[in-house]
């Protein structure tokens, strides 16, 4: 496993720590209790982490998976929708 690959931005942990590399993320995940480790959100985070660690590539997908597993149920912020301005057509 290539643990030297770094995340573009560190992943902040709830306890105040940070995950800076794929190896940090793997170590964090292996320390989880079994019932938490086997949860669907963590399984979804582990798969891209392993793929990028084994084959290389962009670290954004593993980072997103870890963020979603750390904060389950939080809504992912999307674009803000504004009401359209009203225009009057003059002929």
Least confident interval from 52-56, 65-69, 82-86: 82-86
Nearest to 1 by CA among 45, 54, 41: 54
**Rounded to two decimals, what is the model's pTM?**
0.72
Tell me, yes or no, whether 40 lies in a domain.
Answer: yes
Q: Which residues pair with 12 in a beta bridge?
A: 18
In whole angstroms, what is the distance from residue 22 CA to residue 8 CA?
A: 11
Q: Is residue 53 part of a domain?
A: yes
Task: Give yes or no for residue 2 having a pLDDT over 60.
Answer: no
Assigned domain for 44 exists:
yes
Question: Looking at the 3D structure of the chain, how many domains does it have?
Answer: 1
Look up residue 23 and give its two tokens: 């190896």
Which contiguous run of DSSP H or E holds residue 68? helix 60-70
pLDDT in tens, 17-57: 899 999 999 999 999 999 888 899 999 999 999 999 898 88
Q: What is the pLDDT of residue 80?
A: 58
In terms of residue numbers, what domain contains 42? 6-70
What does pLDDT average to over the chain?
A: 84
Question: E strands within the chain?
Answer: 6-12, 18-21
């Amino acid at each position: 496993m290539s643990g030297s690959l770094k995340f573009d931005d560190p992943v902040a942990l709830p306890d105040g720590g940070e995950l800076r590399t794929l190896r940090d993320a793997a170590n964090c995940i292996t320390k989880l209790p079994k019932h938490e480790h086997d949860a669907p959100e963590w399984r979804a985070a582990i798969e891209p982490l392993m793929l990028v660690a084994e084959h290389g590539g962009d670290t954004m997908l593993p980072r997103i998976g870890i963020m979603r597993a750390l904060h389950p149920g939080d809504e992912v912020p999307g674009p803000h929708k504004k009401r359209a301005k009203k225009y009057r057509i003059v002929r």
